[in-house]
Amino acid sequence: MKIVRCFAVSRSVRSLFQSFTFLLLFSVLNSPARAAKKIIFDTDPGTDDALALMLALNSPELDVRAITVVPGNVTAEMGLENALRMVSLANRCDIPVAAGARRPLFQKLITAEFWHGKNGLANVELPPSKCKVDARFGPDLIIQLVHASPHEITLVPVGPLTNIALAVEKDPSIVPLVKEVILMGGSITGGNVNASAEANIYNDPEAAQIVFQAGWPLTMVGLEVGDKAMLTPKYLDELSKAHGPINDFIASVLKYLMGLSMQFGEAGTPMYDPSAVAVAIDPTLVKTQNMHVDVETRGEFTRGETVGNRRGYIERNVLHGDRYVIEGADKVQPNAKVCVDVDADRFLQLFVARIRGK
Ligand SMILES: [Ca+2]
């Protein structure tokens, strides 16, 4: 009897231990670090890139696995220096920061110191970086990380799409292995560099066309979001109530941007790059519509325009002698979720709270 009871006790202890192990394993598997979305942040820093990067680094929903730098707002060299200084400011030297392309695929680079300040970061002088550059080429790093975590990596490009296009061209096998692409760029309602094109797409339209046609789940967070989400002095005042290296840096960048916006008669500064990060954090912030999007690469007035098919079909025009006859309408497959609306206040509140460290 004694032996049997002993055996029974030991069985119950064992089962308790097993339950405990199971609970421990369950909680580890469901911990925030595990649940966080792995992202690669591709950037041309850039004032709004700075806002976007700090939003990503301060958000537990995201796990920034790498930062790849692309020329755009500033040159490749300046962008790399800015990215390194920012990760250093955030004490995140653990994140690899890699240089990428040196120029757009086919056209000359257009830099935007006019909007972003001489140093690309609103003329705010950050301390030299304690972090070192990763030796890998940006597009190679993207390829490597996607293969290392198949179906888990979300690409968040917030600059011209040169690096992403180079990665796809070099290794198309990454396309089905990328979880999704959430990019800032494009517009279906007119541009910001001219009447038709948005800056990130305008800076490398051929690269953008490669990225849109690649065949992966893609969300286009364009001007329809950024222009509606204007960060006004009210939000800046709220953000400026707390202090720290990141807060103070972002407040200075925002003050610069606000001054610039006011010269152009705007009530606040449009939140372009942070909008893609915000959608990665919380897709419910935006309303999307599935569309087939092509990037215009040849138009005299429309090069760099993202042309979204809002009806989902195209006419089938067939040549009959000297004229075309419409013989029907063919469905087109959507290749993008296009953001058409945003809950601006909720997005801006999220931004302010995260920069404040809440
Ligand atoms: Ca950018």
Q: What letter does residue 309 receive in the DSSP assignment?
A: E
As a whole number, the mean pLDDT across the chain is 93
Among the ranges given (13-27, 100-114, 177-191), the one the predictor scored with the smallest mean pLDDT: 13-27
**How far apart are the CA of 46 and the centre of ligand 1, in A?**
6
**How far apart are the CA of 199 and the centre of ligand 1, in A?**
9
- Residue 34 is predicted with a pLDDT of 55
**How far apart are the CA of 155 and the centre of ligand 1, in A?**
14
**How far apart are the CA of 159 and the centre of ligand 1, in A?**
4
**How far apart are the CA of 71 and the centre of ligand 1, in A?**
9
**How far apart are the CA of 274 and the centre of ligand 1, in A?**
9
**How far apart are the CA of 298 and the centre of ligand 1, in A?**
23
pLDDT digits (tens, 9 = 90+) for 245-272: 999 999 999 999 999 999 999 999 999 9
Pairwise CA distance, residues 89 & 246, whole Å: 7
User: What are the structural domains, with CATH classification, of the chain?
Assistant: 33-355 (3.90.245.10)
- Residue 144 is predicted with a pLDDT of 98
**How far apart are the CA of 335 and the centre of ligand 1, in A?**
23
Average pLDDT over residues 207-220: 98
Give the Cβ contact number of residue 154 at 10 Å. 20
Among the ranges given (20-34, 69-83, 232-246), the one the predictor scored with the smallest mean pLDDT: 20-34
pLDDT at 338 over 50: yes
pLDDT at 85 over 70: yes
- Residue 3 is predicted with a pLDDT of 46
Which tokens is 335 given? 């290749």
- Greater pLDDT, 188 or 13: 188
**How far apart are the CA of 327 and the centre of ligand 1, in A?**
44
pLDDT digits (tens, 9 = 90+) for 126-146: 999 999 999 999 999 999 999
For residue 219, the cross-strand partners are 182, 337
**How far apart are the CA of 69 and the centre of ligand 1, in A?**
10
**How far apart are the CA of 103 and the centre of ligand 1, in A?**
15
Average pLDDT over residues 84-98: 98
Pairwise CA distance, residues 213 & 196, whole Å: 20
**How far apart are the CA of 48 and the centre of ligand 1, in A?**
6
pLDDT at 325 over 60: yes
What DSSP string runs through 162-222? Answer: HHHHHHHHH-GGGGGGEEEEEEE---SS--SSSSS--HHHHT-HHHHHHHHHS-S-EEEE-
**How far apart are the CA of 112 and the centre of ligand 1, in A?**
10
Among the ranges given (24-33, 221-230, 297-306, 314-323), the one the predictor scored with the smallest mean pLDDT: 24-33
**Residue 12 pLDDT level (bands cut at 50, 70, 90):** low
- Residue 6 is predicted with a pLDDT of 43
pLDDT at 204 over 70: yes
- Which pTM value belongs to this model? 0.90
Asked if 67 and 87 count as a contact pair (C-beta separation under 8 A), the reply is yes
Average pLDDT over residues 187-196: 97
pLDDT digits (tens, 9 = 90+) for 26-79: 454 445 445 899 999 999 999 999 999 999 999 999 999 999 999 999 999 999
**Residue 358 pLDDT level (bands cut at 50, 70, 90):** confident
